[in-house]
Amino acid sequence: MKPYLLSLTIAMGFSWADFASAYAETRGLSTGKAIRTTIASGLFLSSLAFIFIECGPVDAALLLSMGFGIALLRRSVISSNIALPTATLSFAFYLDERLLS
């Protein structure tokens, strides 16, 4: 498994709460929340796709379980204001490493 794939796991785990919150809302989203959800959706779904493209099924399952573990820990430890920029930077790190290798 390539080490830069862990950055996809971090991006997926840190963007999960904002991605999933769109489906839990019963009322309309505010403009700020809609923007956060759009960014988180792009990060989460892209990370998920790249994990399956880069890995075999066993490694992908391991990375996905780690990502959802990070998502569970993130909810109780890190605020959403820090998590989404961290997910963005982690995804950018993956793209940088992937394009350079």
Supply the DSSP string of 30-66, one letter for each residue.
PHHHHHHHHHHHHHHHHHHHHHHHHS-HHHHHHHHHH
Token pair recorded at residue 91:
């995804």
Read off the pLDDT of residues 23-72 as tens digits, 9 standing for 90 and up. Answer: 886 677 788 888 999 999 999 999 999 999 999 999 999 999 999 999 99
Token pair recorded at residue 60:
């992908």
Query: Which band of pLDDT confidence, cut at 50, 70 and 90, is reported for residue 87?
Result: very high
**Which phi and psi (to 5°) does residue 25 adopt?**
-70, 135
pTM, 2 dp: 0.89
Q: How far apart are CA 38 and CA 58, in angstroms?
A: 29
**Predicted pLDDT of residue 26:** 64
Q: How far apart are CA 52 and CA 64, in angstroms?
A: 9
